[in-house]
Amino acid sequence: MVVIQLEYQGDLHCQAVHGPSGTILTTDAPKDNHGRGESFSPTDLVATALGSCILSVMGITARALKVDLAGTTATVEKEMVNAPIRRIQRLSVKIHVPHQVSEAHRQTLEKAAHTCPVHQSLHPDVQKPIEFTWG
């Protein structure tokens, strides 16, 4: 179990402390929802979590396959919807692997990406397509 301590600091800013490491991050509400957009918003962190989870799970799989994924990037585009309630509508993920990888390893790595815990934990109404480019 991991504990994360959060404190509301006023003016729509929060500070979170990661228990195991002591790392601190801050959040702010986005400009389109009463904030100043001075840091990641909570929904930005969901998008960040998805991208970093996909890369991490692919990295674990690549290590087992003895495939080098160094330099692989993820870009996540977050789209919100306001009706009937404000929520994340779509998280489009683009993964770019700069290396040549065999077709068998590509399939294994793409399957791994879709099994990341964040991807699996998001509500089914959230669209979460993943697009890959290789080499």
80-104 pLDDT tens trace: 999 999 999 999 999 999 999 999 9
Looking at residue 72, its pLDDT comes to: 98
- Provide mean pLDDT across the span 37-54: 97
40: confidence class by pLDDT, cuts 50, 70, 90: very high
CA dihedral 45, 37, 25, 17 (to 10 degrees): -90
Residues of the chain with pLDDT > 90: what percent?
Answer: 99
Question: Could you give the CA distance from residue 20 to residue 8 in angstroms, rounded to a whole number?
Answer: 20
Question: Could you give the CA distance from residue 112 to residue 29 in angstroms, rounded to a whole number?
Answer: 32
The pTM of the full predicted model, rounded to 2 decimals, is 0.94
21: confidence class by pLDDT, cuts 50, 70, 90: very high
7 within 8 A of 25, measured Cβ to Cβ: no
Looking at residue 30, its pLDDT comes to: 93
Looking at residue 42, its pLDDT comes to: 96
